Amino acid sequence: MGYDRVPEEATDGMKCLVMNSIAAMLAGTFASGVKELTQLIRTWGGTPESTVFLNDLRVPAHEAVLVNATMIRALDFDDFHMQTGMHSGAIVLPVALAAAELAEDTDGKALIAAMILGAEIMCRMRLVPDRCIGVSGWTGEIYGAFGGAITAGKILGLSREEMINALGLAPETYEEKFGFLISALESGAPPHGGIAFGFDRLVMLMCSQASIRDIIAFPKTQRAACLLTGAPSETSKKQLDELYLKVKPIIK
């Protein structure tokens, strides 16, 4: 996903978020605990990869992110996503700045696009628990790790395998859950170009049908199985427990 493919509304919103986050960082520079944390990071030392904001200090990238994110959140002046409770600016901006210093050749458009991608995905991930099992509260902060990894990975140009590793997904896990989609998109999406869905909908309108399902055979086989996704597939016990579901054997 490049900058030119992002809606203008999203890029304008991210630019405002960046400005707000920088203002919050300025205000939080001398907040309680920030000075002490900065001194601790200075003491630890390490490879000079990324800059601590408003300090003549370059430290390992992850430590620069720690201090800069603390500055943004210190006075609670940063952004707040009402639907998810996420403080996305404090997550994606420090990560993007540190990653850009590592990459050394990142321009402003690439920076904005990467932050939009990270913020969008982690906020969407955060929406899922509330809709499924009613989880709320501080759990929203958990998803920042994924948003940060995606932001950094985009800027650093990670390969698919490297990005999967950065997200902490085991090969068996993503192959089981997403393997069908990844394999299909490698060659299927470019020629498809959205034409198939548009044609099906056109036929639906020509036949005066209310649903596209009246045009497309669904399920796709007589066994009620999807050949593309492999659905329905076996559900793990962990997934069932999260939804408070229990599978009972059929008694014949």
Average confidence score pLDDT of the chain: 84
What pLDDT was estimated at residue 42?
A: 95
- Of 97, 115, 123, give the one whose Cα is nearest residue 154: 115
d(CA 62, CA 70): 12
Mean pLDDT of 198-210: 79
Most confident of 27-36, 183-192, 231-240: 27-36
Is the pLDDT reported for residue 241 higher than 90? no
More confident residue, 30 or 133: 30
**Full-model pTM:** 0.72
Highest mean pLDDT among 16-25, 187-196, 221-230, 239-248: 16-25
Q: Which of 37-41, 54-58, 183-187, 217-221 has the lowest mean pLDDT?
A: 217-221
Q: What is the pLDDT of residues 43-90, one digit of tens each?
A: 999 999 999 999 999 999 999 999 999 999 999 999 988 888 889 999
CA distance 122 to 86: 9
Do you know the residue count of the chain?
Answer: 252
Spatial contact of 84 and 135, defined as CB atoms under 8 Å apart: no
State the pLDDT confidence band at 149, using cuts at 50, 70 and 90: very high
Domains of the chain (ranges plus CATH)? 3-169 (1.10.4100.10), 193-242 (no CATH)
